[in-house]
Amino acid sequence: MPEPHRYYLTTAIAYANSRPGLHTLYEVVGADAIARWHRMRGDDTFFLTGTDEYSVNIATTASRLGKTPRAFVDEMVELFRTAEDGLAIAPDRFIRTTDPDHVRAVHEMIRRAYANGDLYQGTYEGWYCPNEGFKAPSDLVEDAGGVHCPNHPGVELQWLTERNWFFRLSAYQERLERYYAEHPDWVQPEYRRNEMLGFIRQGLEDFSVSREKAPWGIPFPIMPDGSSSQRPDGSWDPEAGTVYVWFDALTNYVTGVGFPEDPDRFARWWPADLHIIGKDINRLHTIMWPAMLMSAGLPLPRRVWVHGWLLVQGERMSKSRGNFLDPNDVVAALGTDGARYVLLREVAFDRDSDVSWDSFVRRYNADLANDFGNLVNRSLSMAGRYLDGARPEARAEFEAPLATAWRQALAAHEEKMSAFLLHDALAALWEFVAAANRFVDAEQPWALAKAARGGDDAAAARLRGVLGDLLEACRLVGLAAAPFLPNVAARLAGQLGVPYPYGPTGAGGPPLVELLRWGAGPTGGRIGTPVPLFPRLETEAQLAGQAGPGGAAGTPG
């Protein structure tokens, strides 16, 4: 199958209610690596991420801090962008639900649903927890004192009645089931698909898409009588209420690529190739969102990938639990590329994984400092010492044992990347790194060098071949791992004395597959000065010191 010429991928937009946690940016780091992989392969890539900024809670928090909601989210967004910069995340657009074009896109989605007969006025009523919003009866606990929210037992519940617009999700059950049947892998991993299919088969209820009493939101564009809620002066009639935040949030995926104002751009990028989301919002993305798109007459995304959570001692890392790591601390301790690597290697992309400072440091030292970093360092040092810094060429594929190992490693790596198993994709590359380290000990270049100095021409030739193979191995791993290690990849190329043709976001060079062939590097030239790419981290205590007070999760003591 030919590679698609364009690739559009998204993350869920992050809820801008407080500073970002590592567990939130994990998803963005994974998406960024996939985006870079596509850019380097030569695909025209559009990577969208951003922030979800409307909600009653945000308005409440802002008010408590004496700020306007807008001023508050501006501050939060700045924190997200700074943390993402630290992780070398390079979106093609950072979308905010407060962006003006997004408001217009949401209005268009609402109008289309209305025109399609999928919106009607109804009444929503139920127990309302001031901290969490409306609660389903099954989510409440009842005792002698009455009914309360299990998460906020001290907060008194209110019985509220809202007149809302409802979306006719019930009308989409069959169409969704058919879509699932005709696109069996559109939700992955498979068990996540099965959960949603089971949910659909239970029958679907309509859901509300407006809120009467949530002023911090996108104005609902339609009055109860079906007329526009926009007034002559351009403002929106507050009587119409606001758009339910999930309807708003999901729409960001089409806003980001030009809906509805730039039809050419939208036609080029939509449907999305990939939505990457957390398992907690699976239903929104694989039931509600496709129904919204069907209603609007738009094609459905090709794939939704549901990743797992970061766990701390078996519990979900989250801001409310307070057991989260600050991404800035992790970057300070491990570096940008080190942080990206340990996150994506240590956490399985298809399920939950326990993380800790200890596991990060061990992974960093074992894989980056000891295995790969040291391989680069020892290979360059030997070339500098034994060959006077002249860059030796790799041997031909048929006489280079590492070339065979590379072919296998690359095939495994690409298979895992295509399946979004990022941790396994890295593991495949690192098996090759281990093979290269074994190769050094098997060949003993220092012994060859000694023989060569003694006038053994065959040993001298073999030495050049062995070192050429090793530098080639380093070049190949550096390039293949570049979506994960974008900064180090460029530095490594400099040390190896080979060009690095890709730009800061991974775009601009030749298709990666060409440069990943054994022997595809330039010939001749000189190597640079070896400088450790990943300085070894000595102790956890040292790390904890660097990490500061925010680094609570898994810190000893």
The residue ranges that bind RNA (CB under 7 A) are 15, 17, 52, 54-57, 124, 132-136, 138-139, 169, 191, 194-195, 198-199, 202-208, 244-246, 249, 279-284, 348, 351, 353-354, 362, 365-366, 368-371, 373-374, 376-378, 381-382, 385, 434, 437-438, 440-441, 444-446, 532-536
**In whole angstroms, what separates CA 182 from the centre of its chain?**
27
Least distance between RNA and beta carbon 548 (Å)? 23
Contact yes or no for 119/207 (Cβ under 8 A): no
Contact yes or no for 495/376 (Cβ under 8 A): yes
Least distance between RNA and beta carbon 508 (Å)? 27
- Beta-carbon contacts of 447 under 8 Å, excluding residues fewer than 6 positions away, are none
Residue number with CB closer to RNA (229 or 242)? 242
- Beta-carbon contacts of 108 under 8 Å, excluding residues fewer than 6 positions away, are 259, 260, 296
What type of residue sits at position 240?
A
Least distance between RNA and beta carbon 84 (Å)? 17
Closest CA to 430 of 496, 484, 486: 484
Closest CA to 363 of 536, 482, 481, 531: 536
Contact yes or no for 347/484 (Cβ under 8 A): no
Residue number with CB closer to RNA (367 or 414)? 367
Least distance between RNA and beta carbon 17 (Å)? 6
> Is the peptide bond prior to 499 cis by the omega test (within 30 degrees of 0)?
no
Residue number with CB closer to RNA (35 or 470)? 470
Contact yes or no for 292/167 (Cβ under 8 A): yes
Least distance between RNA and beta carbon 278 (Å)? 8
Closest CA to 423 of 489, 365, 362, 352: 352
Residue number with CB closer to RNA (133 or 494)? 133
**In whole angstroms, what separates CA 97 from the centre of its chain?**
19
Residue number with CB closer to RNA (230 or 374)? 374
Residue number with CB closer to RNA (249 or 257)? 249
Least distance between RNA and beta carbon 365 (Å)? 7
Least distance between RNA and beta carbon 517 (Å)? 25
Burial of 117 (C-beta count, 10 Å sphere; 0-12/13-18/19+): exposed
The DSSP bridge pattern shows strands 158-167 and 119-129 to be: antiparallel
Quick check: helix, strand or coil at residue 3?
A: coil
Least distance between RNA and beta carbon 370 (Å)? 3
Residue number with CB closer to RNA (171 or 332)? 171
Least distance between RNA and beta carbon 485 (Å)? 12
Residue number with CB closer to RNA (331 or 426)? 426
**In whole angstroms, what separates CA 357 from the centre of its chain?**
21
Residue 77's CB is within 10 A of a number of other CB atoms, namely 19
Residue number with CB closer to RNA (396 or 541)? 541
Least distance between RNA and beta carbon 264 (Å)? 30
Quick check: helix, strand or coil at residue 385?
A: helix
Which H helix or E strand runs over 109? helix 100-115
Report d(CA 458, CA 435) in Å as an integer: 24
Q: Is the dihedral of CA 200, 303, 282, 260 positive or negative?
A: negative
Contact yes or no for 312/47 (Cβ under 8 A): no
Least distance between RNA and beta carbon 168 (Å)? 11
Least distance between RNA and beta carbon 408 (Å)? 15
Q: What is the DSSP letter of 94?
A: E
Residue number with CB closer to RNA (325 or 355)? 355
Report d(CA 245, CA 452) in Å as an integer: 72
Residue ranges with strand state E in 168-269: 187-188, 207-208, 210-211, 242-243
Residue number with CB closer to RNA (45 or 97)? 97
Least distance between RNA and beta carbon 265 (Å)? 26
**In whole angstroms, what separates CA 360 from the centre of its chain?**
18
Residue number with CB closer to RNA (82 or 151)? 151
- Rounded to a whole number of angstroms, the distance between the first and last alpha carbons of the chain is 53
Report d(CA 543, CA 557) in Å as an integer: 13
Residue number with CB closer to RNA (133 or 503)? 133
